[in-house]
């Protein structure tokens, strides 16, 4: 995904120029932005995002989907990682990161789906995120 590459590249450029502290950079996002963040953290060459670019269905080309999905590259994530999600199915990045003794905060919001609606869950997710930054 080009956006993930650009986000990571911009952070590296700014840190190498001395304009920001490389150890205090945050890449965050929800939905497609969350995917961008996962790709930026887990893959060195994240260039593909749309299913139309895949060249076929998962059943036809599982190796392509595996190569491009961040869940199969979570072992490459070295950054501190705060992961709040709805109950919609997704990869368990937290498990892979913990197995590597990485730092991860993982919170699931039951009863939510894509595009959170409950004000209390939105507020709680922001509290978790801010608390994670303060802890780290």
CA distance 136 to 133: 5
CA distance 72 to 1: 15
**Binning pLDDT at 50, 70 and 90, where does residue 90 land?**
low
**Binning pLDDT at 50, 70 and 90, where does residue 1 land?**
very low
31-74, pLDDT tens digit by residue?
777 777 777 777 665 564 445 567 777 788 889 888 888 878 88
Closest CA to 35 of 96, 83, 97, 104: 83
Closest CA to 136 of 77, 92, 98, 79: 79
Q: Are strands 104-109 and 81-86 parallel, antiparallel or unpaired?
A: parallel
- Indicate if the alpha-carbon torsion angle 70, 1, 76, 109 is positive or negative: negative
Closest CA to 42 of 52, 30, 50, 34: 34
- Beta carbons within 8 Å of 129's beta carbon, 6+ residues apart: 28, 82, 84
**pTM metric for this prediction:** 0.61
CA distance 86 to 121: 9
């Amino acid at each position: 995904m080009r956006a993930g590459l650009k986000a990571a590249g911009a952070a590296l450029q700014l840190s190498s120029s001395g304009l920001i502290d490389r150890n205090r950079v945050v890449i965050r996002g929800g939905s497609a932005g969350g995917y961008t963040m996962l790709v930026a953290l887990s893959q060195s060459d994240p260039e593909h995002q749309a299913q139309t670019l895949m060249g076929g269905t998962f059943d036809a080309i599982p190796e392509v989907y595996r190569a491009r999905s961040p869940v199969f590259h979570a072992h490459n994530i070295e950054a501190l990682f705060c992961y709040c999600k709805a109950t919609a199915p997704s990869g368990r990045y937290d498990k892979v990161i913990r197995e590597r003794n990485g730092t991860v905060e993982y919170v699931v919001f039951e009863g939510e789906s894509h595009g959170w609606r409950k004000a209390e869950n939105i507020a709680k997710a922001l509290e978790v995120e801010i608390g994670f930054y303060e802890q780290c």
